[in-house]
Amino acid sequence: MLVKELAGGRIPILAVLGNHDYETDQPEAVVQVLTEGGVRVLSGETAVYGDTGFVGTKGFAGGFGSYTLGGWGEPAIKRFVQDAVDEARLLESGLARLRSLHRVVFMHYSPIQATVEGEPVAIHSFLGCSRLEEPLLRYPADVVFHGHAHKGALEGRTRNGVPVYNVALPLLRNHRPDLPPYRIVDVSRLERRAEGHEQAAYAQAGSSP
């Protein structure tokens, strides 16, 4: 049903897999169905259209800030953390390759805690990971989109001021019931906002004793 709806689109459609796409241990089959429907599924790869480049990857869980899970202890914990590390590396590799004027990142899991606020604190660690934010600090994007946190917050920012939007369908429907459940973003305007944020940070730093 979804693929048939998407196949009628006239613009390029990009996607990343999410946790539900792995439930039956057949993610390759999901990718094949989407690809046959004209959807390009990214896992660290990039796509460029005009002056805008896109990087997409699933991301993973692991927690945020000082509560990010460390890769030590039992083998199962080490494998869990390694999955997050691997996803962060995919993201960084893609960002490093992009030479476009604008850069858009999208993933399933969140790279910051701000957009999962509203979910039970006990499950924050399963909704995203700060390891995904680290590549965004080294290779800043214009904007980041993610899903997964159905009861989180609509938006937040990375530590270097990049806007992050939670576009989980249930969240959009709940917070914006009178609007279609999607976001349209003017990337050029977001770039100016990011530049303003950096200039403000620089001014503040320059005024410090």
C-alpha distances out from residue 26 to 29, 81, 83, 127, Å = 5, 22, 17, 22
18-62 tens-digit pLDDT: 999 999 999 999 999 999 889 999 999 999 999 999 999 999 999
156-191 tens-digit pLDDT: 999 999 999 999 999 999 999 999 999 999 998 775
57-100 tens-digit pLDDT: 999 999 999 999 999 999 999 999 999 999 999 999 999 999 99
Domain ranges of the chain: 36-199
pTM of the model: 0.88
Supply 47's token pair.
């796509």
- The secondary structure of 163-188 as a DSSP string is EEEE--HHHHHHH-TTS-SS----HH
Spatial separation of the C-alpha atoms in residues 145 and 83, rounded to whole Å: 20
**Rg from Cα positions in the chain:** 17
